[in-house]
Amino acid sequence: MTDNEKIKRLQSFIDESQNIVFFGGAGVSTESGVPDFRSKDGLYNNKDVRFEKYSPEYLLSHTCLTREPKVFFEFYRQKMDARFAKPNAAHIFLAGLESAGRLSAVITQNIDGLHTDAGSRNVYEIHGSTRRNYCIKCGKKYPADYIYESKEDIPRCDCGGMVRCDVTLYEEALPERAVNGAINAIKFADMLIIGGTSLTVYPAASYIKYFSGKHLAVINKDPLSVFLDPENDIEINLPIGEVFSQCRVN
């Protein structure tokens, strides 16, 4: 089956589904210029002499934040700033599906806020968001720009507490509300679209086991080890924005 034939089949599955859920990862935002983590050009393979003695997992860990906050915030400011990225065809198509009443939830491992920018309303950000910041001492909330524009190495609250991003770091538990919402959405979906993710980040990747609907669609540049029913499922190995730019909302 050619790629065009696969996209037409995906469209037919979308057209007959009434409760679609989307589960996405870093590949959804790479077409917006936001780097992923594990590809050859991703953050984990971007050697910067300032951080070369640290592992990427450490730089984005709770331990680094608490033990070496200056290092944490220098890395965060340099590598995690997605404020100027814009939604691409994938974000826009999914927002359109939701607006049409066909898609019930977007579940994202991304922390860039682009699904919300595109107009999606029911978004479960299971790894948090760089758009939100808060004081670890008093809980006061701060806007997205605060950490990036702070003149201090370690951003501080009016109360003197450290202001951190509302992102789930390594060694931290995922946000319970977002996790429960994501699992419930998958349980009741009649179609699940998995896009732009290698399904290697756990526990998030394990949530797809709750899907028992009719159609499963996988859209990822690299093939995934997911069992597919040849009658009801489809896998397309292309960039997700390229695929969704050829789909329509009916």
pLDDT at 203: 83
Residues marked active site are found at 127
Taking 90 as the threshold, does the pLDDT of residue 124 lie above it? yes
Dihedral over Cα of 163, 166, 26, 91: its sign: negative
Q: What is the Cα–Cα distance from 57 to 68, expressed in whole angstroms? A: 14
Provide the CB-side half-sphere exposure for 204 (13 A, CA). Answer: 24
Lowest mean pLDDT among 28-42, 57-71, 74-88, 126-140: 28-42
| Cα 213 off chain centre by | 22
For 66-83, write each residue's pLDDT tens digit.
Answer: 999 999 999 999 989 999
Name the pTM for this structure. Answer: 0.92
Q: How many CB atoms lie within 10 A of CB 36?
A: 20
Q: Are 18 and 102 in contact (CB under 8 A)?
A: yes
171, 196 Cβ separation under 8 angstroms? no
Section 112-121 average pLDDT = 97
- What is the pLDDT averaged over residues 162-175? 96
| Domains in the chain, CATH or no CATH each | 3-33+86-127+173-244 (3.40.50.1220), 35-81 (no CATH), 130-167 (3.30.1600.10)
Residue 47's pLDDT is 62
For the record, the structure tokens of 87 come out as 């939604």
Q: What distance, in Å, lies between the first and last C-alpha atoms of the chain? A: 24
